[in-house]
Structure 1
């Protein structure tokens, strides 16, 4: 599922250079402390032939307060809370587009892409089941609106292929009968 629109929450740490210099703490020390305290393992994308598997590792830190309380030691062995060196705030990931419903209000679009060779009928059925499962868990005022459903296209295509096969069988029988 590719998501477009909306905001993805981030926790941002903006070091204050003057405070870092005064307390003798480097940027690398801040990065190491964040990684160590968040047990943040590598994440990214694993390519396997024509497929890509996205790997997401959720960190242990879950609030601004937890991040602000991370302890960092300087070269002299003194320990400081991260809040003494940096501003910690909520932010959002860089957006690469937006989606609107009516040209005014913003929405989030989820685009489901089936893998090559997947049974499209099964994919659509699975998506419909998952949407029905998700609907009751949505926050108040949030709803799922399907604006393009391929199931009709799939049914028409299957019907057309079935009709063509039936016509071909009839033609072969007629030709065999003539011979």
Structure 2
């Protein structure tokens, strides 16, 4: 199998690859999630409503750049395409404080849901084509991560 021809001169490829983090030889989704942390910090400086708009813009941008990059390389949702992790982790951190316990909890839960893909994440992953399909499963993983943390906050030692 030949290696996909990512073109780092194209802004769409650079963003889809999570600023290059998706090119990590092992665990590109994990590195893509880590690459989201500076954007999550920026988001944490916003009001919740502005942060929600921000996450929505990351999602819409991701639908375009992931879809375009997948089309360019001729492969749907190649592992190096990690903008979906960037947007999904941003949603997982939407209303949470930018503090290490929350970052760690959101990171672990998000990676769990993204890797395991429980229903309905798996359904979206297999049934929705194009950039929207690449993005939706990670956005749902982010929403599920945030929901779990918000439900558990009263019981967490850092909540």
**TM-score scaled to structure 1, two decimals?**
0.24
- Larger CA Rg, structure 1 vs 2: 1
Is the helix fraction higher in 1 or 2? 2
**Structure that is richer in strand per residue:** 1
What's the TM-score once normalised by structure 2's chain length?
0.26
